[in-house]
Structure 1
Amino acid sequence: MNKLNVVTICLMMIALSSCKTEQKEQTVKNDMTFEVYETSAKGNSLTKLEDFKSNKDTVRIKLSPDEKFQTITGFGGAFTESSAYLLNKLSPANRDTILQAYFAKDGANYSLTRTHMNSCDFSLTNYSYSPVEGDTNLEHFTIEEDMDDLIPMIKDAIEVSEDGFKIFASPWTAAPWMKDNKKWVGGKLLPEYYDTWSLFFSKYLDAYKAEGIDIWGFTVENEPHGNGNNWESMHYSPKEMTDFVEFHLGPKLEKDGYGDKIILGYDQNRAGLDEWVDEMYRSESSSKYFDGTAIHWYESTYDFFPEALQYAHNKAPNKLLIETEGCIDSQVPVWQDDAWYWKKEATDWGYDWAPPEDKHLHPKYAPVNRYARDIIGCLNNWVDGWVDWNMVLDRQGGPNWFENWCVAPVIVDPDADEVYFTPLYYTMAHFSKYMRPGAEVIGVDNSDESLMVSSVKNPDGSIAVVLFNETETPKSISITLHEKTVTFSIDAQAIQTVMITE
C-alpha cells in the first residue's frame, strides 16, 4: 500500500469518526425530555408516572410555541378570615404543613392571591375598618380586626414563598353609614362618600404596607350585582362603577403615590360581561384607570362562557382578564373520600335556586371536573389568572357567619387537629406549580375534542401542557414539538401536567 492510499484511508476514517460524532451530537441535541404528573379518580395525586399503557387510539397534539397568546399573571387562592382562623386552631406542625403545601416551591407554589377588605361571608362577624359614623376623613381607620388571624397568615405565607406572590384585595361593602340603606347587605354607596371610599383604599394600602405586606391591586367591588341579599354586598351599575373609578378612585390612588396599583373592574359572573367592559373601556380617560376585568364562575357548573371571555379580550386586548373567585358552593365538604370529588354528586346554588330558564346551566357536576374544565377553558380564551376561593375550611364548610357553606381544597378538623388535602388541591397544583407568572400561552392543535388541553411556555423555556380526560376511556397521547415527539398515556378521569424541556 502506498503512502497516498494510507493518507486517504486515514482521512476517510477521521471523516467517518467526525461524522459519527456529529451524528451523536445531533441526536443528543434533538432529544426532548418530559415528565408526566397525574391526578386521577383511581388514586393518583400529582403522581409522577414512569410507565405508560398503549391504548387503541392515539390523540395527536401539536404544540406551536411561535403562536403566542396571553401572558400568565398567576394561579392561587384567597386569604380569608375563616381560613386564617382555622389555621390558628391547628397545631403549629399542621398549620405549617398547609402553608408549605400552598406556598413552598415544592408545593403548589401559589403566585396570585386575593383577600377581603372589611368583612365578607367567610368572616366570623361583620366588621369595617371605618367603624366611626361620619368619619369622612377616616381618622379612626383601623385594620385591628385583621391582626389576630388574617395578617399572620399572609405574613407566614410570604415567609414560606421563595418565588413570592401577588395579593389583590376586594371589598364586599363599605360600612353601613356610607350607604343609602344603612345596612351591611345590599344598597349603594352614597355619592357624598365617593371620596371617602376612595381614601379608604389608600388608607388600606398604607396600613398593610406598615405591616410589611405589599398589595398588588384591587377589584373595585366583589359582586356588584349583589348576592341575593344574603351577606355583605354593595351594588353598582356598570356606569356607577366606571364613574367611581374614573373620577374618584383612580385619581386618588394616583395622587397618593399608588398609581401603579392594579384596578380590576366588574368581579362577578361571566354572563352580561359585555355591558361591563363596554362601559369600563368607554373612553381613554376611563380605560386609563382600569388595568383589567375580574370574573367569577358561578353562572354555571360546566359552561365557561368562551364567547363572553373572547368579547372581553377583544374589547381591551392589552388588559388583564382574571378569574378572581370560584369554589364548590352551596355544598358541605365530604371528608376524606377522594372518590366523591370525581363523582357528579355536588350541587351549586343554581341547582336549587336558579330560575327555570337557567336550570340547565346548573346540573350536578363532579368538583374536580368543574375546576379542570373551567381553568383550561379560561386559559384557552385569554384569561391570564385564576384564583380559587378559601384555601382552608372546616368539615362544615365554614366558619361562615351567614352559614354559606362551601368546599375548599384543604379541609380541616380543628378539634381533632386533622388535615385533609382533597383532590381539588392537587387539581389547582397542576396549574399553579407548573405554569409560572410570565409564561405565555401557546398554540395547541388537538385531534380529540373530548380531551381538554392547554399549554404555556415558561420564562425558563420549559413547556407545561395540562391535559384533562373527563371520559371513562384511557387515551394514548402523542405530543409533537418542533418535529420532535413524545408519547405516553392518560388514564380515564384524570388530569395531567406534562413538563417538556428541549
Structure 2
Amino acid sequence: MKLITKYIPVLLSILMMGGCKTDMKAPAIEVYETSADGHKLTRLTSFDEESNRSVIKLIPEDEYQTITGFGGSFTEASAYVLNQLSPQNRDTVLEAYFGDSGARYSLTRTHMNSSDFSLGNYSYAPMENDMELTHFSLDEDKDDIIPMIRDAMKKSTEGFKIIASPWTAPPWMKDNKNWVGGRLLPEYNDVWALFFAKYADSMKSEGIDIWAFTVENEPLGNGNNWESMHFTPGEMTLFVQNHLGPILEREGKADIKILGYDQNREHLREWVDDMYRNEQSSKYFSGTAIHWYASTFEVFPDELRYAHEKAPDKHLIQTEACIDAEVPKWKDDAWYWSKEATDWGWDWAPEEDKHLHPKYVPTYRYARDIIGCLNNWVDGWVDWNMVLNTQGGPNWFKNWCVAPVIADTENDEVYFTPLYYVMSHFSRFIRPGAKRIGFESEDKEMMVTAAKNPDGSIVAVVFNPTTEKKNFSLNIGEESSLISINQQAIQTIIIAP
C-alpha cells in the first residue's frame, strides 16, 4: 500500500486564466486527489491551462459550526481481524488510520456490550439482579477492543475522542429477557444508568477516556435481528433527564457528553422535538447522533437543518455509516467507483420507501454524504468498522458489510479500498476545532465544502461525480488558483495560512 506523504506546505506556480483580475496572486496550496482512474490521495502539481472554467469562491469570514472530527469505530470484529494479521500488517493498518502519515482519525466510536459485529453475545454485567453492578467487568474486551484502542492512542499525535454506544442492556434488565428487542424495565433505570458510569470508570482504569455516550444504538430497532433495545423519544428523554444525566453527575462523570437518538435521519424531527422540548428535558443532552441508512442517496438536509435550529449550541454527529448488506470486493477498485452496490432496502424496504434505496456508487455515497452533512451543520462524521475480513465480518448474525480496509487473514494481506482514501480527504486535513466556512460555486454538478483549521490553513474539498474533467478557479480574497479535477474524483485543496 502507498501511505500518504507527510504534509509539507509548498508554493505552486499557477497560471492565471484570461479575464481574471490582473492584481490577483496565487496562494501557497497543496492539492490531493482520489479518482476512478487510479489516484489515491495523490499529490497534483500541474493543471490544465484552459480558460473555460467555473469559479469556486471561498468566504472565510462566513463561519458556521466547529468541527469535532472524523473517524471510524473500534468494534470487536475489527479488533479481532487485526489480531489475526502479522504484527507488521496490524501496525500498518493502525498507522494508516491514526498515524501522522495516515488518515489521522480524530473522532471514533465503540460498542458497550456486544453488537452484531462481535463474535457472540456478551455483557459486562452478566450476573442477574446485580443491582450494584459489583460483578461488572470489561474482560470480554481485553483481548481485542482495548488493545486496539491503546495501540491507536500510541499512533495518534493529537489524540482522538471516543463515543461509546450500547446496543442493548443485559437481557435480565429487559421485559423480554432477550438480547434482541424489548424494553428496559423501569425498576432497572438506575442500574442501567449506573452501568454507563461503571463503563467509564473501567475504561479509565485501562488508560482510555470516554468523551461521549449515545443512549442507545438504533432505539427504533433493527427488525429484531441482532442486539437491540427499544425507546420512544419520550422514553429516552425521561431516561436521560431522570436517570442517566443525574447518575453520571453523581458519579463525577458530568463532563462526559450524552448524545440522543442515534438512528436514521428521516425521524430526526420527532426526536429533537422531544429532547429539546424545554430546558429541563434538554439539560443533560449535549447533542444528537444520526445514521445514514434511510437512503442510499438522500442526505436529508431539511431534517439536519431542523435539528440544528432546534438546538444550535448542541452537537450533531453522524455516528455510523457503511456499505451494508454487501460482501467486500477484494482488490477491485473499479467496483467501488461503479453503480453496483445495494443495501438492505434494495430487498427489504417497504414498497413506499424502495425509491430511497436504488443501486449506488460506494465512493460517491461517502463523498456526497460527508459533504452534505458538513454543509448542513453536522460537526462530526464517524464510519463503522475500520477493518473487516474478506467475508465482511466476523459478524455473529452474518450481517456482512464493507469496511474501508479489508484483510485476508489467511494470507496476511491488507487491501485499502477507495473508501479509505475518500475518508482521508476529510479526516487528514480538516482538524478538530476547524470552522466550516462559506463558499459559492458556479458549477452545480460539483459538490464543495470548506473549513478553516485552528492553524489558519483553509481546506476545500471538491467532489466531481461526472464523467468529464472539470477546470475551476479557486478564489479567496485577492488570491486565485487555477485547478483541474479529473472525472469521478474527490479533491482536497489546502491553502497555507
Of the candidates 166, 190, 198, which is equivalent to residue 195 of structure 1?
A: 190
Q: Residue by residue, what CA displacement relative to the aligned partner does 1:449-501 show, whole Å, maximum 9, x if unpaired?
A: 11000000000000010000000011001111012111110000000000012
Matched, 1:479 2:466: no
Of the candidates 145, 163, 172, which is equivalent to residue 158 of structure 2?
A: 163
The match for 1:493 is 488
> How many Å separate the matches in 1 of 2:432 and 2:419?
21
> How many Å separate the matches in 2 of 1:107 and 1:35?
16
* 8 Å Cα contact 1:55-1:475 kept in structure 2: no
Of the candidates 421, 425, 432, which is equivalent to residue 430 of structure 1?
A: 425
Structure 1 residue 29: deviation in Å?
11
Matched, 1:172 2:167: yes
The match for 1:181 is 176
Q: What does 1:369-448 correspond to in 2, within 5 Å?
A: 369-448=364-443
Structure 1 residue 70: deviation in Å?
0.3
Of the candidates 338, 347, 353, which is equivalent to residue 343 of structure 1?
A: 338
The match for 2:88 is 93
Structure 1 residue 57: deviation in Å?
3.5
Work out which of the two has the higher radius of gyration on C-alpha atoms and give 1 or 2.
1
Q: Residue by residue, what CA displacement relative to the aligned partner does 1:164-220 show, whole Å, maximum 9, x if unpaired?
A: 000010000000000001100000000100000000000001100000000101000
Matched, 1:111 2:106: yes
Structure 1 residue 86: deviation in Å?
0.6
The match for 1:289 is 284
The match for 2:16 is none
Structure 1 residue 61: deviation in Å?
0.6
> How many Å separate the matches in 1 of 2:38 and 2:25?
35
> How many Å separate the matches in 2 of 1:88 and 1:28?
58
5+ residue gaps in structure 1? 1-26
Q: What TM-score, normalized to structure 2?
A: 0.95
* 8 Å Cα contact 2:105-2:427 kept in structure 1: yes
The match for 2:453 is 458
The match for 2:274 is 279
> How many Å separate the matches in 1 of 2:201 and 2:479?
52
The match for 2:64 is 69
The match for 1:352 is 347
SS in 2 for 1:87: helix
The match for 2:363 is 368
Quick check: which one's helix share is greater?
1
Question: What is the one-letter code of the residue matched to 2:412?
Answer: D
Of the candidates 315, 320, 323, which is equivalent to residue 310 of structure 2?
A: 315
Moved over 2 A (4+): 27-31, 53-57
Of the candidates 235, 248, 253, which is equivalent to residue 258 of structure 1?
A: 253
5+ residue gaps in structure 2? 1-21
> How many Å separate the matches in 1 of 2:205 and 2:444?
51
The match for 1:79 is 74
> How many Å separate the matches in 2 of 1:216 and 1:471?
39
Question: What is the one-letter code of the residue matched to 1:433?
Answer: R
Query: How many residue pairs get matched?
Result: 476
Q: What TM-score, normalized to structure 1?
A: 0.94
Q: Residue by residue, what CA displacement relative to the aligned partner does 1:329-349 show, whole Å, maximum 9, x if unpaired?
A: 000000001010000001001
Q: Residue by residue, what CA displacement relative to the aligned partner does 1:59-115 show, whole Å, maximum 9, x if unpaired?
A: 211111010000000000000000000111100000000000000112000000000
Q: Residue by residue, what CA displacement relative to the aligned partner does 1:32-71 show, whole Å, maximum 9, x if unpaired?
A: 1111100000000000001212457412111110100000
**Kindly, what percent of the aligned residue pairs are identical?**
66
Matched, 1:216 2:243: no
Matched, 1:52 2:35: no
SS in 2 for 1:187: coil
Task: Kindly report the root-mean-square deviation, in angstroms, between the aligned alpha carbons of the 2 structures.
Answer: 1.2
Question: What is the one-letter code of the residue matched to 1:455?
Answer: A
* 8 Å Cα contact 1:57-1:475 kept in structure 2: no
> How many Å separate the matches in 1 of 2:456 and 2:337?
33
